[in-house]
A = this chain, B = another copy of it.
Amino acid sequence: MEIREVFARNLRTARLAKGLSQEELAHRADIDRTYISSLERGVYNASIDVVDRLAKALEIEVAELLSRKKSGTIKRH
């Protein structure tokens, strides 16, 4: 699976696990909502800075957003 698809799947899973809408996540991460929607569809080749901001907004590790291991639960910390 392409890393963009891995990231798209993990981003969506983590956002839903947090009970956030794309709008709310966009606001927290100070990223445009339409960009988040595109990332969740694997459209863009995100930079590590963007991945880092999203991980912080979701209160998870950057590594978890790019892990190929399908995790039922995203580790909290």
Contact = CB atoms under 8 A, between A and B. Distances in A.
Contacts of A7: 48
Contacts of A63: 63-64, 66-68
Contacts of A68: 61-63
A14 interface: no
Interface string A28-54: 000000000000000001111101100
Contacts of A16: none
Contacts of A46: 47-48
A66 to B, nearest CB: 5
B45 A66 contact: no
List the 8 closest pairs (A to B, CB-CB), nearest first.
Answer: A63-B63, A3-B52, A63-B67, A45-B47, A62-B66, A45-B49, A3-B48, A63-B66
